[in-house]
């Protein structure tokens, strides 16, 4: 089901036909470089099911992002409540994961701006956060382009990783409803 439309994107719930394309995205070494590793097809299908159930329950999710001109699934952009505890939880995170062939085209920024609007004005959220590892300069750039701000005091070690894990340290960005 189409939920958000931008000039170049359709953000929607997931369908069974998305599984193969999303699996391929999660095998791309560029995409998973700063993640814990590739996803199996079972993990992809579980993710899609979980995201659709979350949409039914909460009215927001990590939406399947489809390129309007081609109808191709390019990844996800959306909202998600983290399932772990940190000094800033409970909260709602904005996140994105796009196939590397769709990087540097403005898709993440375009979709994220629309998702912020949706979150604040349709879901009545008052604050949205985003976080990543410091090396993920592409995502940090998107966070800044959509108006998010970092307070270095909010940076944190990810609670699901050991403190010595190379991906443990995270930066936290926030934006509040105006």
Domain holding 56: CATH number? 3.40.630.30
Cα separation, 170 vs 85, whole angstroms: 14
Domain tally, the chain: 1
Alpha carbon dihedral 120, 10, 133, 45, in 10-degree steps, equals 110
Query: pLDDT-based confidence at 68, cuts 50/70/90?
Result: very high
Q: What are the structure tokens assigned to 56, written together?
A: 């039914």
pLDDT digits (tens, 9 = 90+) for 75-124: 999 999 999 999 999 999 999 999 999 999 999 999 999 999 999 999 99
Its domain, for residue 129, covers: 2-176
Contact 5, 42 (CB under 8 A): no
In this prediction the pTM is 0.96
Q: In the structure, what pLDDT confidence band is assigned to residue 178 with cuts at 50, 70 and 90?
A: confident
Q: Residue 164, exposed/middle/buried by CB under 10 A (0-12, 13-18, 19+)?
A: exposed
């Amino acid at each position: 089901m189409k939920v958000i439309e931008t000039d170049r994107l359709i953000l929607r719930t997931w369908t069974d036909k998305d599984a193969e394309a999303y699996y391929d995205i999660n095998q791309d070494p560029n995409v998973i470089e700063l993640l814990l590793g590739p996803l199996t097809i079972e993990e992809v299908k579980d993710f899609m099911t979980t995201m659709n159930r979350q949409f039914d329950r909460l009215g927001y999710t990590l939406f399947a992002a489809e390129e309007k001109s081609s109808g191709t699934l390019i990844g996800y952009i959306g909202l998600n409540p983290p399932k772990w505890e940190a000094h800033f939880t409970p909260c709602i995170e904005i996140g994105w994961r796009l196939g590397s062939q769709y990087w540097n085209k403005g898709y993440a920024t375009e979709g994220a701006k629309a998702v912020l609007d949706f979150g604040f004005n349709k879901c009545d959220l008052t604050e949205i956060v985003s976080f990543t590892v410091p090396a993920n300069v592409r995502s940090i750039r998107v966070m800044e382009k959509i108006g998010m701000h970092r307070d270095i005091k909010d940076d944190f070690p990810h609670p699901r990783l050991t403190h010595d894990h190379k991906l443990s340290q995270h930066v936290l960005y926030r934006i509040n409803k105006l």
